[in-house]
Amino acid sequence: MTAREEILARIQGALHVRASDPANGHGKIERTYTRTTSMNEHETIELFIDRLVDYDTEVIQVASDSEIAGAVAQSMTKAQETALLAPAGFPQEWLPTSIAITLDENLSHVTLDAEKTVITTCEAAVASTGTIFLVHGGTQGRRVITLLPDHHICIVRRSQVYSVLPEALAAVTANATKPITTISGPSATSDIEMVRIRGVHGPRSLTVILVS
Amino acid sequence: MSIRVGKAAKAPAFPIAAHKALENNQLRANVRRATTTIRNKRALRVEEMPDWESLRSAGAAIKQHTLAHLDHYLEEFVRNCERAGGKVHWARDADEANSIAINLIRTYTPKDSTAPVEVIKVKTMTSDEIQMNHALEREGIVPIETDLADMIVQLGKDEPSHIVVPALHKNRTEIRDIFRASMAQPELTDQPEDLTAAARKYLRERFLRTKIAVSGANFAIADTGSVCVVESEGNGRMCLTLPEVLITLVGIEKVIPSFGDLEVFLQTLPRSATGERMNPYNSLWTGVTPGDGPQHFHVILLDNGRTKLLEDEMERETLQCIRCAACLNACPVYRETGGHAYGSIYSGPIGAILSPQLQSLEHSRSLPYASTLCGACYEVCPVKINIPEVLIHLRGRVVREDQKTLKGKLGVENIAMQAAATIFRSERRYEASQRLARIGQLAFERKGLLTNLPGMAGGWTATRDLKPIPSHSFRDWWKSRNNTTWSPKSNMSQGGAN
Amino acid sequence: MHYNTGYHGEAVPLVRRFVELFRDAETVCVPSASCVAMMREHYELIARNEDDPRLLAEVQALLPRVFEFSELLTKKLKVTDVGAHFPHSVTYHPSCHSLRMLNIREEPLTLLRAVDGLNLIELPNREQCCGFGGTFAVKNMDVSTAMLAEKKACVIETKADVVTSLDNSCLMNIWGGLHRDGSSVRTVHIAEILNSVKGLAGGNA
Ligand code: SF4
């Protein structure tokens, strides 16, 4: 017997009393927790900002797409950064003209490791936890480009912000088999005496540009 | 079959190991501070969730449902994972899983390479369960732990003492000394910021140069074939993204039916584990994505005793565990001893039920008794495992097995329990035994106290006094009392029942 | 004790005996939360495991009439003030089984607050186990003692004269520890406090 056959046989032997069809049983699981809320957009955005700030995220609100480039420049100037990495095909008009731009055309890890700042869009966000969903590819970039640089600037549209996790998860389900990363604040550890330290291996700073 | 759970087979019994742990004041202070902090943070984050109980119930229901159809969901996961370019291997036990991993590492190592083969690892308790690092090292492969706490444990040649914060038994000075010794950084301070920065620098070059990674998984999703890793530091993302080859070790109980089920666990796990609304990073991937991340992806599905827990419904509950460690942080026993006393990499209440069961009660037999059954673990468990109930069930198995041996039959405890059962069955015998005990205790009474009893009861009086059985019992008083009817305001005044 | 230590077979006759004794009782009042918890949580299971439908039916018929002492007063008799007088400062230790298995939280505090002269002081970290745990106290004596030490420190911190609880087993443990240290804090079961009237303050030293 192969290991697969043997393990499956052990399982089948142990589960002698079988419930009916799995799909049916799964559908019947009681889900009385909050799956949608009646929060309006204003409340949702307020909550989102509160949560982002709580986990040390910089938030810049802009009224329209035309202000994105300015917000990017503002964040980078404050952080004293001068060069920006962006996914290939990233909209030119969102990138500040004053800053040197590198597009990720399958750059090597070593090259990417030298980059300080990266910009992407996102797929969805959760207000109650301050979480951003990246479904990788396109303007959300390959996984590695938001990992090696130290500062991640992420463009989030107000319409992409959901109040609770189940809503956001439903919004990304169609893309469930693409690589997905959820990001809630900068990387952190509490492994030493429970002191929260920001920035271990992932980006040490996260900026969200919230676009109306 | 070689079912192994860390070094549990060689571990001393819990009371003996606990005795040693209790003498280490530094360790106890570290454990107490850490568990108190997480437990308070958790309470805060749980309180703000009005639907917490619903989430717990749904989490338990999803897990129960999955386990009742485990073969179905495993096969669905395998189909979908392989369709997306992953390759799944099945391992009956620890040795089989280790040899699959070693073969894979060999396959992907260039034949002419002379440098030692390195693999980077992201937190996987399961790999500690099967002692993968030892197995790799025996083959000349160098495993590099990348989670900060795992790194502290590995560099300090220590063992993990907690399933989420494996180095919580070490304080900053102890960590600084370990880092100074192993990173050639004599100037390093004990500031957590500096220690963390040192780890970042030490690991960054290793992340960039290493071609093979080994990871664990928090969830394996059947309907998409995806795997999910929950983490905070970003070392997980590094291991899952940078190498060319990724080997993911998954216990068979980690499968969940559907991507949508994450809406429950991604809410309960972070709050229970670290007291955060959400941990910094969750990574989800499905097979291989051209141009993004490892181009060779292997999953090892591990049994190692798990299937033995399926048959009995109460034992099966154990497999619902999502390894959040909330039960460890809540446990008043763990709080005193820390994790090492359990002699198993799975410590605390979940360890006390999981470790003995995986090993058919051949090892870790004292663990079901390492609890007062206070129920704090059950109260916090996000998938509602009734740990006290499982503990009692396992004690039953231990007792029944012991009673089959002559040594067990003649054991002090068995005889005492049998005698007590006989006495409790009849009030005549109960009253007679009270009278007898009153006489018997005279020999040990000092100033109206029992201070130094022999035998099992000596465990009590070594550190506590015991009031002698009073000369009048409640039963005597009840029999002799006036027939006054009781009413709330005209309190009866015959004197308290002593 | 038997069941919780793993002597499941030995517990069966005790269940039978209990049913035999109390099957005709209108109400059964039990002055120990731990005992009530055992009955509610395990008696049915024990009867089921015995495959004895008659025992099961009797257990099921009896259990709704079994009350823990403070439950009986507050929930069934709807009494909160029993007219007791107890002029001492008292702290309350919620025993694990009363708290987590019977979910008794406010009832005893309500009863105690109504006692004339009683000064109720909150016990720090009160929901933590005192370390008794039945045979745990002897099988794992060292850990039990360490847990008790934490509980004792919390009790001392309150400066109360008396610790009370719904379980005598916890009180026996706490008293044993305090007394060994030479502390004069007394342990008194809640029933004794509620049974105290002017001129006759209950409880034993
Ligand atoms: S048993 Fe429950 S509380 Fe303990 S680690 Fe597992 S899921 Fe968490």
Task: Note the pLDDT tens digit of each residue in B404-438.
Answer: 876 777 776 777 777 676 766 666 666 666 666 66
CA distances from C171 to A89, C35, C156 (A): 72, 15, 14
Q: Which residue has the higher pLDDT, B50 or B473?
A: B50
Give the range among A13-17, C70-74, C78-82, C100-104 with minimum mean pLDDT: A13-17
Ligand 1 centre and the CA of B322: distance in Å? 6
Q: Is A12 exposed, middle or buried (0-12, 13-18, 19+ CB in 10 A)?
A: middle
Closest residue by Cα to atom 4, ligand 1, is B327
Ligand 1 atom nearest the C-alpha of B318 is 1
Contacts 24+ apart (CB under 8 A), B423-427: B424/C14, B424/C17, B425/C13, B425/C14, B425/C17, B426/C17, B427/B475
Return the pLDDT at B477: 61
Exposure of B406 in the CB half-sphere (CA atoms within 13 A): 0
Stretch B332-347: mean pLDDT:
95
Please report the pLDDT score of residue B41 as a whole number: 96
- Per DSSP, the three-state class of B405 is coil
Give contacts of C82 with chain B, Cβ < 8 Å.
488-489, 491
State the average pLDDT over residues C77-101. Answer: 94
pLDDT of residue B9: 84
- What are the residues whose beta carbons fall under 8 Å from the beta carbon of C134, sequence distance 6 or more? B372, B373, C1, C4, C5, C169
- Residue scoring higher pLDDT (B470 or A10): A10
Alpha carbons A58 and A129: distance in angstroms, whole number: 15
Q: Which residues of B touch A31 (CB under 8 A)?
A: 54, 58, 264
Do residue B420 and residue C1 have CB atoms under 8 angstroms apart?
yes
Between the CA of B313 and the centroid of ligand 1 the distance, in Å, is 17
- Give residues with Cβ within 8 angstroms of B329, minimum separation 6: B35, B38, B39, B42, B380
Helix (H, G, I), strand (E, B) or coil at A136: coil
Atom of ligand 1 nearest to the CA of B330: 3
> Which residues on chain C are in Cβ contact (under 8 Å) with B387?
none
Q: Do chains A and C touch (3 or more CB pairs under 8 A)?
A: no
What is the distance in angstroms between the Cα of C121 and the nearest Cα belonging to chain B? 22
Q: What is the mean pLDDT of each run of 10 residues along chain A (212 residues)?
A: 96 79 90 93 96 94 97 96 96 95 96 96 97 98 96 97 97 97 90 86 94 94
For B179, the token pair is 């880092």
Domain ranges of chain C: 8-75, 89-204
Which pLDDT does position B495 carry in this prediction? 34
CA dist list (Å): B185 to A24, B178, B180, B201, C156 = 59, 10, 5, 11, 47
Rounded to an integer, the average pLDDT of B197-220 is 95
Question: Per CATH, which fold does A40-211 belong to?
Answer: Rossmann fold (3.40.50)
Neighbors of chain B by Cβ distance (3+ pairs < 8 Å): A, C
Torsion on CA atoms C43, C48, C49, C53, rounded to nearest 10: 120
| Residue B487 pLDDT level (bands cut at 50, 70, 90) | very low
pLDDT tens by residue, B216-228? 999 999 999 999 9
Structure tokens at B168: 């919580």
Strands B141-145, B117-121: pairing is parallel
Confidence of residue B23 (pLDDT cuts 50, 70, 90): very high
> How many percent of chain C have pLDDT more than 70?
96
Across the interface, which of B221, B307, B311 has its CB nearest the CB of A7? B307
Q: Give the tens place of pLDDT for each residue, B122-132.
A: 978 999 999 99
**Bridge partner residues of A207 (DSSP):** A58, A153
Q: What is the mean pLDDT of chain B?
A: 89
**CB contacts, 8 Å: C142 with chain B:** 15, 18-19, 22
Give B303 Cα–ligand 1 centroid separation in angstroms: 19
pLDDT for B130 equals: 96
**Inter-chain contact B389–C5, Cβ cutoff 8 Å?**
no
What pLDDT is recorded for position B417? 73
* Whether pLDDT at C2 is above 70: yes
Strands A161-162 and A124-126 turn out to be parallel
Tell me whether residues B291 and A142 touch, CB distance under 8 A: yes
- Asked if B15 lies within 8 A of C139 by C-beta distance, the reply is yes
CB atoms B310 and A110 under 8 Å: no
List chain B domain ranges.
Answer: 14-308, 430-487
Q: In the structure encoding, which two tokens stand for residue B420, read together?
A: 């007590």
CA B81 to centroid of chain Cα atoms: 29
How far apart are alpha carbons B492 and C197 in whole angstroms? 8
**pLDDT computed for residue B401 by the predictor:** 86
Residue-level pLDDT at B498: 33
Angle at C75 between CA C69 and CA C80, to 5 degrees: 80
CA distance B212 to A185: 28
Q: Is B428 exposed, middle or buried (0-12, 13-18, 19+ CB in 10 A)?
A: exposed
Q: For position B440, what pLDDT does the model report?
A: 60
Query: Computed from CA positions of residues B4, B10, B13, B19, in that sequence, does the dihedral angle turn out positive or negative?
Result: negative
Nearest-CA residue for ligand 1 atom 8 is: B324
Chain B positions in Cβ-Cβ contact with residue A187 (cut-off 8 Å): 232-234, 280-281
User: Which residues of chain B does A166 touch, with a Cβ-Cβ cutoff of 8 Å?
Assistant: 263
pLDDT for the residue numbered C112: 96
pLDDT at B1: 61
Q: Which protein residues are within 6 Å of ligand 1, measured from CB?
A: B 272, 321-327, 350, 380-383, 385
- Residue C205: band (very low, low, confident or very high) from pLDDT cuts 50, 70, 90: very low
Average pLDDT over residues B37-63: 97
Q: How confident is the model at residue B496 (pLDDT cuts 50, 70, 90)?
A: very low
User: Pseudo-torsion of CA A4, A9, A15, A16, nearest 10°?
Assistant: 160
- Asked if A140 contacts A87 with a C-beta cutoff of 8 angstroms, the reply is yes
Ligand 1 atom closest to the Cα of residue B384 is: 2
**Degrees, nearest 5: CA angle C153-B497-C81:** 80
| pLDDT score at C83 | 92
Cross-chain Cβ contact B278/A181 below 8 Å: no
Which pair of structure tokens corresponds to residue A52? 């982002």
Q: What pLDDT does residue C202 have? A: 47
For residue B122, the Cα-to-chain-centroid distance in whole angstroms is 18
Buried b or exposed e, range B50-84, using 16+ CB within 10 angstroms = ebbebbbbbbbbbbbbbbbbbbbbbebbbebbeeb
Q: What are the residues whose beta carbons fall under 8 Å from the beta carbon of C24, sequence distance 6 or more?
A: none
Atom of ligand 1 lying closest to residue B324 CA: 8
Cβ atoms of B235 and B206 within 8 Å: the answer is no
Contact at CB, B421 and C135, closer than 8 angstroms:
no
Of B67, B256, B318, B327, the residue with max ligand 1 atoms within 8 A of its CB, to mutate for a pocket test, comes to B327
CATH architecture of B14-308: 3-Layer(aba) Sandwich (3.40)
Strands B219-221 and B226-231: antiparallel
- pLDDT attached to residue B490: 37
Query: Domain residue spans in chain A?
Result: 40-211
- Tell me the mean pLDDT in the region B96-100: 98
Q: Environment class of residue C167 by beta-carbon count within 10 Å: exposed (0-12), middle (13-18) or buried (19+)?
A: buried
Confidence of residue B117 (pLDDT cuts 50, 70, 90): very high
pLDDT value at residue B491? 38
Which residue among A13, A109, A200 places its CB closest to the CB of B235?
A: A200
User: Which positions in chain A touch B258 (Cβ < 8 Å)?
Assistant: 26
Q: Answer for the pair C200, C84: CB distance below 8 angstroms, yes or no.
A: no
**How far, in Å, CA of B253 to CA of A117, rounded?**
40
> Distance, CA B325 to ligand 1 centroid (Å)?
5
Nearest residue (by CA) to ligand 1, atom 2, is B381
- A205 touches A199 (CB < 8 A): yes
pLDDT, residue B497, reads 35
What pLDDT does C5 receive? 81
Chain segment C179-191, per-residue pLDDT in tens: 999 999 999 999 9
Which residues 6+ apart lie within 8 Å of A119 measured at CB? A72, A84, A85, A86, A90, A94, A95, A152, A153, A154, A155
- DSSP 8-class letter at B210: -
Count contacts between B and C (CB, < 8 Å): 172
β-bridge mates for residue A210, sequence order: A61, A156
DSSP string of B100-158? Answer: HHHHHHHHTS-TT--SPEEEEE---HHHHHTTHHHHHHHTTEEEEE-SHHHHHHHHTT-
Report the 10 Å Cβ neighbour count for B244.
13
**Mean pLDDT, to the nearest integer, of C1-10?**
79
How many A from CA of B323 to the centre of ligand 1?
A: 5
**Ligand 1 atom closest to Cα of residue B163:** 5
Percent of the residues in chain B that have a pLDDT greater than 90, as a whole number: 72
CATH, domain range C89-204: 3.40.50
